[in-house]
Chains A and B, each alone.
Chain A
Amino acid sequence: KAGVTQTPRYLIKTRGQQVTLSCSPISGHRSVSWYQQTPGQGLQFLFEYFSETQRNKGNFPGRFSGRQFSNSRSEMNVSTLELGDSALYLCASSYFRDRNSPLHFGNGTRLTVT
């Protein structure tokens, strides 16, 4: 069974641009979560989607948004990029939303904002 797939693996953008990252969960998984990883702030929760609905959101500005499609694939969008948005963005999927369903992570998308 294929793991969580994130595309692209690397992105370089300029301040002010917008970017879209993609995540394909493990087949059958319905919950997708996104995390931001930076050297300064560590790993921080962005949002969680289940059945195409955002179920939980972290403490990030409205420039960060996401969505989930009917096939459970998810995208996250960052508008008006800032230098501080440079980070590794990790996607994770699980069967359900409950805590007993372990998260399976992808390899991440490394975003660099110049």
Chain B
Amino acid sequence: AQTVTQSQPEMSVQEAETVTLSCTYDTSESNYYLFWYKQPPSRQMILVIRQEAYKQQNATENRFSVNFQKAAKSFSLKISDSQLGDTAMYFCAYTGTASKLTFGTGTRLQVTL
């Protein structure tokens, strides 16, 4: 079975600074997708960024980028120029052949002034 591990329950960053959230996963599949979702207090899960395993180039979406290390099964999220609106729970997720998402336990990110 696939597992996703987020080892940082909580993190804090000052506005305009950069923060990196960690995620590791375990799988025996060779073709899969990885995602970072954001869940603000409104409860809606919002897709932040996704990475296809067969693509070596790290995905980037504006201020959000990932460091995908396939051999190490690591998938970290970097948020640059942090904004107050980035305050939320961040979930790392995996999907393989089963077409369902397996989520990590989440990292609560607080952006402060």
**A interface residues (Cβ-Cβ under 8 A, vs B):** 3, 33, 35, 42-45, 48, 55-56, 58, 88, 90, 92, 97-100, 102-108, 110
Contact = CB atoms under 8 A, between A and B. Distances in A.
Q: By CB atoms of chain B within 10 A, which of A42, A48, A110 has the most?
A: A42
A99 B105 contact: no
Contact of A45 (B50, B101, B104): B101
Contacts of B33: 99-100
Interface stretch (B15-23, B65-73, B92-100): B92-100
Interface residues of B, number: 24
Interface in B29-81: 32-33, 35, 37, 42-47, 50, 52
Nearest to B98: A56
A42 B103 contact: yes
Contacts of A56: 98-100
A107 B35 CA distance: 19
A99 B45 contact: no
Given A99-B95, A102-B47, A103-B47, A33 B100 contact: yes
Given A56-B98, A99-B33, A99-B95, A43 B103 contact: yes
B24 interface: no
A45 B106 CA distance: 15
A98 B99 contact: yes
B91 interface: yes
B87 interface: no
A23 B19 CA distance: 35
B107 interface: no
4 A-B pairs closest in CB distance: A105-B45, A43-B103, A45-B100, A99-B33
B82 interface: no
Contacts of A58: 100
Contacts of B45: 90, 92, 103, 105
